Amino acid sequence: MTGRKALRLLFLAVALGFGVWAVASRWTEVSEGFARLSWLELGGSLLAVIAALGCGMMMWRALLADLGSPLAFPHAAKIFFVGQLGKYIPGSLWPVLAQMEMGRDHGIPRARSAAAFFLTYPVYLGSGLLTAAVTLPVLAGGSVARFAWLLLLIPVLAAALHPSVVNWCINRGLRLLRRAPLERPLTRRGVLVACGWAFGGWAAYGTHLALIVHGLGASGPQAALLSVGAFALAWSLGFIVVIAPAGVGVREVAMVAALAPVLSQDAAIAATLCSRLIVSVGDLVCAGVAGLSARRSAPAVPVESPAGSLRGDQPKD
């Protein structure tokens, strides 16, 4: 066994261990809430999470392809989902390091992998804040008024995601690191496609939460729309308040506030805890399925483009 393979297996074992521990450690907190949900609601909620995670993978894949490294679906899924397990390991850089390492097998330069990874966050944040702004103010009213300052970030993020700004920032950072600039700059089309997948993800996450909320006693269009906005607001606030690891605590406060018009405080807290656990289970399921699918598919062989730069597999789906 080579050293690289041993390190990858070690990473996978540690990440899976922390991921399983994250699920098991929360079980006592959510068992009462889960007891109020039907199997149909639980299964549908998990499927919606898997769909949302899939949208996140497609967003990252679109950014990577726009930067010059298109990937076949199974290989993109393996790199993204297995890499994402790194977020359960203490420390913030494990996911990007894992994606950079696995991307090497497909001829993806490390700088390009890192750029695509870090670009997903402003895309997620901008689309999430816009989703919350559209769904929450009228329906949630005063319960989310304390978070109104987040609206100021939407035009800032919209400007920051302009391709000329993104490309300047990336190349400036690479220059400071004494690395060559990106061979292929990000385009407006790449940003728009990524945003489209991000909005799809918020809709799926909202569906996941709406099914939980329905099982806890709230139904109808208002509850469904509030669920979409509540999840988007909670994720966005948790990302911004970096002092809280993975947004723990901060996300729950925002989600409870957004769901206040349709759920009691105790029911809203139960919904947030159930949501966090189901999302963790979804991470583990996606990583397992993607890893198995990629093992059964043909191995990628990096090919030399006419311009002389390495490229990964062409999309096959």
Q: Which of 273, 276, 249 has the alpha carbon at shortest distance from 263?
A: 273
Q: Name the band, by pLDDT with cuts 50, 70 and 90, for residue 201.
A: very high
**Across residues 43-69, what is the average pLDDT?**
95
The Cα 12–Cα 83 span in angstroms is 9
CB atoms within 10 A of CB 300: 17
pLDDT given for residue 293 in this prediction: 67
The Cα 13–Cα 116 span in angstroms is 25
Rounded to the nearest integer, the mean pLDDT of the chain is 82
pLDDT given for residue 70 in this prediction: 92
CB atoms within 10 A of CB 201: 27
Q: Name the band, by pLDDT with cuts 50, 70 and 90, for residue 317.
A: very low
Residue matched to tokens 């329906």? 139
The Cα 61–Cα 63 span in angstroms is 5
- Give the CA distances from residue 128 to residues 45, 68, 73, 132, in Å, rounded to whole numbers and listed in that order: 19, 26, 25, 6
- Give the CA distances from residue 159 to residues 69, 151, 152, 181, 217, in Å, rounded to whole numbers and listed in that order: 25, 14, 12, 22, 41
Pick the range with the lowest mean pLDDT from 25-34, 76-85, 120-129, 224-233: 25-34
**Contact by Cβ (8 Å): 286, 54:** yes
Q: Name the band, by pLDDT with cuts 50, 70 and 90, for residue 253.
A: confident
pLDDT given for residue 165 in this prediction: 93
The Cα 245–Cα 233 span in angstroms is 17
Give 297: exposed, middle or buried? Use CB within 10 Å, 0-12, 13-18, 19+.
middle
The Cα 33–Cα 15 span in angstroms is 27
- Give the CA distances from residue 63 to residues 112, 123, 172, 238, in Å, rounded to whole numbers and listed in that order: 10, 10, 19, 23
pLDDT given for residue 190 in this prediction: 94
Give residue-wise pLDDT tens across range 109-141. 888 888 998 899 999 999 999 999 999 987 777
Q: What is the pTM of this model?
A: 0.83
Give residue-wise pLDDT tens across range 180-191. 888 889 999 999
**Across residues 41-46, what is the average pLDDT?**
94
Which DSSP helix (H) or strand (E) runs through 310?
strand 310-311
Packed helices 3-25 and 94-103: angle between N→C axes, nearest 10 degrees: 140
Which DSSP helix (H) or strand (E) runs through 311?
strand 310-311
**Contact by Cβ (8 Å): 114, 100:** yes
pLDDT given for residue 300 in this prediction: 46
Q: What are the φ/ψ torsions at residue 303 (nearest 5 degrees)?
A: -120, 155
**Contact by Cβ (8 Å): 259, 297:** no
The Cα 49–Cα 76 span in angstroms is 18
Between 229 and 5, name the one with better pLDDT: 229
The Cα 167–Cα 310 span in angstroms is 20
Residue 54 has pLDDT above 60, yes or no: yes
Q: Which of 1, 5, 62, 72 has the alpha carbon at shortest distance from 198?
A: 62
